[in-house]
Structure 1
């Protein structure tokens, strides 16, 4: 991102404060929210109390550390810790909605959609700023891995963990590391 800022003549850290619309959260906040929600959703699937959302400084080093911490957390989750998660019932509370969802629906219609919503918004912000990234960049890494793992390897909960582990790693590499290594105008090439 720093390379994109430099290439486009933006002030340092400016991308972190960008948003698609006035009522939406910023680019930096999208990643903070993703990390918090991944940890909360996985804790719920593990039948543990979700951790308190963490508030982090909006800087590239802080976001990179937070993404790495989230990846590390996901790597510690063992399949037996979420075994049977798709057969449980989960309570939904505000601000989402009030009610209950069966495990399979919770995973497919809330956890994964919530994760990819924030990824999509971050992607859209980068496009709005002129980053030459497109659907191929977004879907080649994230969607292919999710589809394969969810459909082929059976078990929605196990597939969710694997998908999030892979997506988080790809996301961190794509959004933070690759740009910082001197690719000023692209994410994947």
Structure 2
């Protein structure tokens, strides 16, 4: 059976590299300006493309911090350009690459945190399966959908990083 490390860290690294490739395709798409792409939303009350990239990064990084014994690293969520988002993705990958499988928390270790006055408690296993991974892919897929909405020529092959 794969370890929690195996089902998270390498998977997030691969997906972040895919996200970087998608972002590159979006930035070179002639029909949309980078500013339009960065501010793109699926619907008025939903957060923009930039936020989706930031949150995918944050959820991947949180696994390194909460389960991989990496000291908390603040990424300021202040990116304003495609290049800054690319640098953020690169930095998140670098953080994940520092995690050693031998340092990873166990399935039953408690993970607790607070977001907007709400306390969350998980085991290592439920944190990966019920929080980190679903949230990571929610924002990853939303970023993908926004690229498609803006007419970027990407599809399932790009999403899955098929050669």
Q: What TM-score bracket applies, with the shorter chain setting the length?
A: 0.7 to 0.9
Residue 68 of structure 1: how far off its partner (Å)? 0.9
Pair 22,69 (structure 1): closer, same or farther in 2 beyond 3 Å = same
> How much has 1:36 moved relative to structure 2?
2.3
Aligned in 2, Cα 1:64/1:96: closer, same or farther, shift over 3 Å? farther
Q: Which has the higher contact order (CA 8 A, sep 6+)?
A: 2
| 2:37–2:49 contact (8 Å) kept in structure 1 | yes
Give the corresponding residue for 1:134: 155
- Structure 2: gaps spanning 5 or more residues: 1-25
TM-score, length-normalised on structure 1? 0.64
Do the aligned partners of residues 2 and 24 (structure 1) sit closer, same or farther apart at CA in structure 2, a change above 3 Å counting?
Answer: same
Secondary structure of the structure 2 residue equivalent to 1:87? coil
Select the structure of larger CA radius of gyration.
Answer: 1
Aligned length: 138
The answer to whether the aligner puts 1:2 opposite 2:24 as a matched pair is no
The root-mean-square deviation of aligned C-alpha atoms, in Å, is 2.3
What SS class does the counterpart of residue 98 from structure 1 fall into? Answer: strand
2:58 pairs with 36, 40, 57, which one? 36
The TM-score with structure 2 as length reference comes to: 0.73
Match of 1:73, SS? helix
Which 5+ residue runs of structure 1 have no aligned equivalent? 142-187
1:62 aligns with 2:87: no
Structure with the higher helix share, 1 or 2: 1
What pairs with 1:107-122 in structure 2 (closer than 5 Å)? 107-122=128-143
SS of 2:115's partner is coil
